Each structure stands twice: as C-alpha cells, then as structure tokens.
Amino acid sequence: MDGNNATIEPACRRRCPDRWCCSSRYLVQAPVWDEEINRIARYTGRSDFHERHGDESVLRVRADGYCVFFDKENRACAIYAVRPFDCGMYPFDFYTAGGDKRWLLWDCAYSRQMDDIFIEQSLSRFESRHRHALHRIWNYENESIDLTRPVGFRVLRPMRVAGPSGDAGEFGDP
Ligand code: SF4
Ligand code: SF4
C-alpha cells in the first residue's frame, strides 16, 4: 500500500556512517503524514516527536539539529521500519526546475555505488509502486533544495507519475 513504509524497499541504509540527511543543517525537517504519526506513535510509545510547520507536520529536531529519531551512537534511524515515506526515498529526492519535476540523487557513500541501471530501476519502482504517495508529496516546496548546501546531488530524469485515474503524464513529463 502506498505510504506504508513497510513496503518501501530500502533505498537507504538503516545504519550509515554519514547520515547527514537526518540533520536540519542540510535539509528541512522531515514531513510526516497523520497516519505515519499514528504508526510511529504506536511503534515508539511516544507522542512528542512532531510539530506543525504551516499546513504540514514535520518530525522535530534536537538542539544539535538532528531528527529526534537519529541514533547518534549507532549512526542509525531508530524508527527505520516505520520512517516517513519522505525518508524512505533517500538518497533519492526530487527537484522542481522551470515547472519540471525531476528526480535527483543526493551524493553519499551509498549513492556513489549505484550504477545507471540500479538508479533507473529504483525510479521506476517508486513511480509504479508509490504513485499515490508521490502525488501527496508533489506540492512540497522545493526551495528546501539549497544549491549552496555542502552536499552535492545529481539531477536525474523527469518524474513520470501517472495521474490518480492512471493517466500518465498528468504530473510529469511523459
Ligand atoms: S525518521 Fe529516521 S531517516 Fe527520517 S530524518 Fe529521522 S532519523 Fe532520519
Ligand atoms: S541518503 Fe546517503 S547519507 Fe543519508 S542515510 Fe542514506 S546512505 Fe546515508
């Protein structure tokens, strides 16, 4: 089911020596949907991990800028099995350029190991299996992608997400 992270094949590792992407020093706080909040609350027994930013909820960060669920000692996500969809896409992300939504791939030790075939398989998998979730994140503000940030990325091909009725190209370039 889209948005159910148990079905997101790990694009990203539970433990990662970098894990810069869990810090608000580099990225905005991770958006989290209501059903994800409920699932994380059941998993952790906590209710103090999210806050509102405008129209959306996000995971809180600690004083050091890291997500409340970042396990510093193990360099791991403490809620990996139920992390928000937005986290589950990493190191893939998307970027709006001239009204065109394009996939991008953040630079990290893991993404550097990916060849073009693996990248295309990953994008196709997201587009086919998680299209409803991709629709939900479609309008996220992408000024969060600050080109001056110290972490680089590669801009990939346009997103191809079928519309709710299954019409290809409604949201992306066919
Ligand atoms: S939920 Fe996990 S993967 Fe997402 S920002 Fe927090 S620690 Fe990182
Ligand atoms: S996106 Fe890269 S840096 Fe971030 S946790 Fe995943 S593998 Fe590590």
Q: Domain ranges for the chain, please list them.
A: 5-158
What's this model's pTM, rounded to 2 decimal places? 0.82
Ligand 2 atom closest to the Cα of residue 16 is 8
Structure tokens given for 33: 């949907």
The protein residue with its alpha carbon nearest to ligand 2, atom 3, reads 19
- Confidence (pLDDT) at 140: 61
Q: Which atom of ligand 1 is nearest to the CA of 83?
A: 1
- Ranges of residues in the chain with a pLDDT under 70 are 1-10, 97-99, 138-150, 163-174
Write down the pLDDT at residue 163.
Answer: 66
**Closest by CA position to 91, among listed 113, 66, 70, 75:** 113
Nearest CA to ligand 2 atom 2: 108
How far apart are the CA of 166 and the centre of ligand 2, in A?
32
Task: Give pLDDT, residue 138.
Answer: 66
Q: Helix, strand or coil for residue 32?
A: coil
Task: Provide the CA 75 distance to its chain's centre, in angstroms.
Answer: 18
Nearest CA to ligand 2 atom 1: 91
Q: Which of 33, 44, 70 to mutate to test the pocket of ligand 1 (most atoms within 8 A of CB)?
A: 70
| Of 109, 106, 32, 111, nearest in space to 69 by CA | 32
Q: What is the pLDDT of residue 7?
A: 46
Distance of alpha carbon 118 from the chain centroid: 18
Around ligand 1, the residues with Cβ closer than 6 Å are: 22, 30, 59, 67, 69-70, 77, 79, 83, 87
* pLDDT number for residue 38: 96
Residue 31 in contact with residue 57, Cβ under 8 Å? yes
* Ligand 2 atom closest to residue 91's alpha carbon, by position in its atom list: 1
End-to-end CA distance of the chain: 24
Which among 112, 88, 96, 21 is positioned nearest to 104, based on CA atoms? 96
The pLDDT assigned to 5 comes to 44
Query: Within 10 A of 156 (CB to CB), how many other CB atoms are there?
Result: 19
Q: What is the pLDDT of residue 167?
A: 43
Separation of alpha carbons 140 and 8, rounded Å: 20
Contact predicate 60/49, CB 8 Å: yes
